[in-house]
Amino acid sequence: MAHSTPPRYSAAELIEELREAAEEIVPELNGIRAEETLEGEAAQMIEEMVDALKRIAGGAPRPQDLARVALEANTPLKPFGRPKNTVVKMQKPRC
């Protein structure tokens, strides 16, 4: 009897799931931002690797350099999710 494998998540779905998981645990982490969690960093790394692979597949010059940069994971973490404690005040018009 052959077993069928369940469908795999796409990279975009994995990134979304990881970021949602990061946002869910942040309230318990006392000051750690979502992008600083393991899930948040994993999401960004997957995103960067997907971007590098797409560029390589598209014929970008120096594919080894693109791959090397993606694997080094030295880019700053990009914030995502809801901003914390953001207060926006409406300006009163001057008459």
Lookup result for tokens 């494998």: 5
How far is residue 75's CA from residue 41's CA, in Å, rounded to a whole number? 11
Contact present, 53 and 86 (Cβ < 8 Å): no
Domain ranges of the chain: 11-72
How far is residue 48's CA from residue 50's CA, in Å, rounded to a whole number? 5
Query: Mind listing the pLDDT tens digit for each residue in 10-44?
Result: 999 999 999 999 999 999 998 899 999 999 999 99
Can you give the pTM of this predicted structure? 0.76
Query: Mind listing the pLDDT tens digit for each residue in 84-94?
Result: 555 545 566 66
- Determine which helix (DSSP H) or strand (DSSP E) holds 17, and give its type and residue range: helix 11-25
How far is residue 88's CA from residue 71's CA, in Å, rounded to a whole number? 39
The three-point CA angle 88-41-65 to 5° equals 115
At 2, the pLDDT band (50, 70, 90 cuts) reads confident
Q: Is the confidence at residue 82, as pLDDT, over 90?
A: no
